Chain A
């Protein structure tokens, strides 16, 4: 059974940093593109970042470029999102997701990041 379990969310002040993690199991993690998608309270889904199977290719949404960094550790089957210079508008539930057929397939349960003073 495929499982994606996010962790690392919490309350952080504007300008602060946070590192999210996503532990994967039940599939060959290293062969899949992985993504972060976020959802602000009461809002829709927004794609944030992606990384290829061996970690050599990444991209980020313009809204987080230069502040967020996606990475992965295939030996530990874990995806990460390093977030810095956080803004109030980054407040959201952050989901990790695996990709098949050029779309998110399996999703984690999400981790809430709240940026507030």
Chain B
């Protein structure tokens, strides 16, 4: 199975400041159709996961534009341009290129 490794696992942030989470895969996530199936999910405390980003950099419906995704091959990044209080929670990357789907271990974003 493809191993997804996130860093850091804990990210203390200052409201209004940027934040960045890294995700690395054990194999390239580029698929033969030209797409790269890397997604990011947010899970607020006590809630279900919510998809923020799909195919590396496409924002989901209703996702604020302060969230952005980038990367290629095996290295990916989720950036929050200015952290807001509602962004506190867990963030997961997930690869959909190889079966089975696998998730990163999660990064906990909390306010300093």
A binding-site residues for B, Cβ under 8 Å:
35, 37, 44-47, 59, 61-62, 95, 100-105, 107-110
Residues of A within 8 A of B99 (CB): 59
Nearest-CB residue, chain B, relative to A107 = B48
Interface string of B87-112 (1 = CB under 8 A from A): 00000101011011111111000000
Please tell me the number of chain B residues within 8 Å of chain A, measured between CB atoms: 24
Residue positions of B touching A, CB distance < 8 A: 35, 37, 39, 41, 48-51, 54-55, 58, 60, 92, 94, 96-97, 99-106
Count A/B pairs, Cβ under 8 Å. Answer: 58
Secondary structure at the A interface, as helix, strand, loop or mixed, is: strand
> Which residues on the B side are within 8 Å of A102 (C-beta)?
35, 37, 54-55, 96-97
Bound together, the chains give a CA A44 to CA B90 distance in angstroms of: 9
